[in-house]
Structure 1
Amino acid sequence: MPASASFGTALDGTKVQLFTLTNKHGAAATITNYGGTLVGLLMPDRHGKLGDVVLGFDSVRDYQSPAFRAANPYIGALIGRYGNRIAGGKFTIAGQAYQVSVNNGPNSLHGGQVGYDQKIWDATPGTSPDGPTMTLHYLSKAGGEGYPGNLRITVVYTLTDTNALRIAYTATTDQATPVNLTNHAYFNLSAGVSPDILQHELTLPANHYTVVDADLIPTGELRPVPGTPFDFTTPHAIGARIAQVPGGYDHNWVLNVETGQHPAATVHEPASGRTLAVTTDQPGVQLYTGNFLDGSLTGKGGTVYGRHAGFCLETQHFPDSPNKPGFPNTLLKPGETYRTTSTYTFGVRG
């Protein structure tokens, strides 16, 4: 059964908990009920030495600090009601226009002003045949951030004995609403030995990506990756061509397989030997390379998070899908159940 400890007191006076899931090999995931946030993830390197491969902070107040809120990096959190961007915070369902809160220039990002990353979830530790679990529940009420419908969400984290962290999401609604849930973990497979992730070797099984405008809203074009710095169909260091991408990578790749569990990414960190393989049933994955981290945040153990300190692989439906009829549908209706699972499996090479 996962162990629990205090993670401090939130600004509203709520006492927040930190739960530790440990598998039979000693790998461990720490998760707080504030934002359903993945705070730490200990995985072995090629020599068997455990290291923390995700960015995070030492207490709930660090996630609520003025510096954190100003940077708004969503580090480790569960994201919703709609992960990624919605143009102008506007969409229409069955002829009814909706305006949700905007928080990213003129657009809505990751659920709006107060997304699920800032909510305190109900948490229940448990066990399963695959390993220890943490089950999180949240009721996202109708009208919150402008979204229609009461959305009941369950997220189950499982740390398996094969050193995989599985995240399974389900949700139901009483009114049609767009839903796109994900996790915003920032990985650094060097376990902080390297201050950035530019030498990590990345493969993305995606022949197209969604072209975006200056505000990172998709234009609707699915552009082939060959001949561009977006071609990760064979392994490339993340930093090898990042200078060719204004601002760095913050784009959605269109996965070659869009249904059933399928590969979304593989990563290798040469110095430690650690590897990460991501599988999902989602049609897209957002690679974000920590472009807006600027050294203003100090994480666990006094580590300063500078630019490119971590990378995110956010499994998802495409950005702005509610306004792009040609994109995979994100509308959840009453009587339907939203289900998606993504798995992050760690290993070593060499």
Structure 2
Amino acid sequence: MSEVPAAGVTAQTFGQLPDGREVELYRLVNDNGMEMTVMSLGGTIVSLKTPDAEGNQADIVLGFDSLEDYLAPEYRKANPYFGALIGRYGNRIAGGQFEIDGQTWQVPQNDGNNSLHGGSRGFDQRLWEVSPVEEGSGVGVVLTLTSEDGDQGYPGQLEAEVRYTLTDDNALDIHYQATTTATTPVNLTQHSYFNLEGEGNGDILDHQLTLNADAFTPVDDSLIPTGEIRSVADTPFDFRQPTAIGARIDEDNQQLQRGQGYDHNFVLKREAGDDLVLAARVEAPDSGRVMEVYTTEPGIQFYSGNFLDGSLEGKAGQPYGHRSGLALETQHYPDSPNQADFPSTLLSPGETWLSHTRYRFSTR
């Protein structure tokens, strides 16, 4: 059994950016000894330690021990967005273009011809303001960021706030909100990669995944949704019952070939009036760790770490090889600004964009 650290929030300097600004690292510990560290650069979750079935703590998110590793050219070139907050628009926008009231807006094409995760300098590369909070139900931090009018080509000044709370029932609660001075697309999400056996401990192909989704949004060759809402029935995308991630990942299937594995948005089952719904459940066979994902969002992007290639070495001193982590990004659908039949991501002045996601951790 691991020693339980003292509950609370503490802060220390993690390093400096090239322009001299300091990056802070916040350590959150709940009453059960579950521990998370978050750095102000990108609102990035650097570590997340949870117990296995024997009570032994291990870090279950991919990332690095030093700021220098996050700033290194090889990381920025690959940019897997380990643990980062994503904005203004999580996922892809076709051609980096969209229209609002007949006006065309151009944002950076940083993923082939498309825009990915907010552009070439998205919220993952911004220095957030961070304030610790201690509540009756746990400990947390509030992160705030002002995205100026025209930032990465997006209209309107966006005021974003994200609250991470490590609750005393071993959940990570994430509350998002945003306001704008001009109508703009908003689709914030969190991009942690999980390995419930412990980061650096092999791949995630034996993890058992359940997704509360009867349909997904198939993609074209550039991973932009075609507009179709396709049933998962009789396809490798049917995770309605617990299924090993690796069971069908290499099947001869056009969608799997386009994503080089799973890199798709799943349409969550939701009844009218539902708030938080169970979106996903993951179980690791050896450690017995279980993660459940609840969200108010209509979709979840399941990414099986297909582009990890061993070139980045993580906190455990092990290279992050092919499919060594998985991401479950709660979100609106990719390319929604160009897909009239998808739920809208437009936020207008006078409105407040709200979203809530909970990652709950337990053991088998």
- Does the Cα contact within 8 Å between 1:34 and 1:60 map onto a contact in 2? no
2:63 aligned residue: 56
Paired residues for 1:139-158 under 5 Å:
139-158=146-165
In 1, Cα distance between equivalents of 2:314 and 2:201: 15
1:275 aligned residue: 290
Residue identity opposite 1:195 in structure 2 = G
1:299 aligned residue: 314
Compare 315-324 and 10-19 and name the one that shifted more. Answer: 10-19
In the TM superposition, what whole-angstrom CA distance separates every residue of 1:116-137 from its partner, at most 9, and x where no partner exists? 0000000001101111111000
* Alignment: residue pair count: 349
2:37 aligned residue: 30
Residue identity opposite 1:322 in structure 2 = P
- Does the Cα contact within 8 Å between 2:99 and 2:105 map onto a contact in 1? yes
1:13 aligned residue: 20
1:178 aligned residue: 185
Residue identity opposite 2:109 in structure 1 = V
1:98 correspondence with 2:108? no
Residue identity opposite 2:234 in structure 1 = G
In 1, Cα distance between equivalents of 2:71 and 2:247: 34
In 1, Cα distance between equivalents of 2:111 and 2:174: 27
In 1, Cα distance between equivalents of 2:32 and 2:360: 14
2:360 aligned residue: 345
Give the drift of 1:301: 3.1
Residue identity opposite 2:323 in structure 1 = H
Give the drift of 1:193: 6.4
Instruction: With the length of structure 2 as denominator, give the TM-score of the two structures.
Output: 0.95
Structure 2 segments unaligned to the other structure (5+ residues): 1-7
Give the drift of 1:303: 2.3
Does the C-alpha gap of structure 1 residues 293 and 193 become closer, same or farther in structure 2, counting only changes over 3 Å? closer
1:243 aligned residue: 250
- Does the Cα contact within 8 Å between 2:200 and 2:318 map onto a contact in 1? no
1:204 aligned residue: 211
2:4 aligned residue: none
- Does the Cα contact within 8 Å between 2:42 and 2:127 map onto a contact in 1? yes
| Counterpart pick for 1:252 among 235, 256, 265 | 265
1:137 aligned residue: 144
- Does the Cα contact within 8 Å between 1:11 and 1:64 map onto a contact in 2? no
Give the drift of 1:58: 1.1
Question: Is the partner of 1:219 in helix, strand or coil?
Answer: coil
1:112 aligned residue: 119
In 1, Cα distance between equivalents of 2:198 and 2:347: 38
In the TM superposition, what whole-angstrom CA distance separates every residue of 1:162-210 from its partner, at most 9, and x where no partner exists? 1100111000000000000000000000013631100000000100000
Moved over 4 A (4+): none
Compare 11-20 and 44-53 and name the one that shifted more. Answer: 11-20
Question: Is the partner of 2:213 in helix, strand or coil?
Answer: coil
In the TM superposition, what whole-angstrom CA distance separates every residue of 1:284-329 from its partner, at most 9, and x where no partner exists? 0000011111111111132211111100000000000000010001
Question: Is the partner of 2:344 in helix, strand or coil?
Answer: coil
Paired residues for 1:256-335 under 5 Å:
256-257=269-270, 259-335=274-350
In 2, Cα distance between equivalents of 1:50 and 1:10: 31
Structure 1 segments unaligned to the other structure (5+ residues): none
- Does the Cα contact within 8 Å between 1:277 and 1:344 map onto a contact in 2? yes
Identity over aligned residues, as a percent?
54
Residue identity opposite 1:198 in structure 2 = L
Instruction: Provide the aligned C-alpha RMSD in A.
Output: 0.9
In 1, Cα distance between equivalents of 2:189 and 2:292: 17
In 2, Cα distance between equivalents of 1:268 and 1:175: 43
Instruction: With the length of structure 1 as denominator, give the TM-score of the two structures.
Output: 0.98
In 1, Cα distance between equivalents of 2:47 and 2:227: 36
2:88 aligned residue: 81
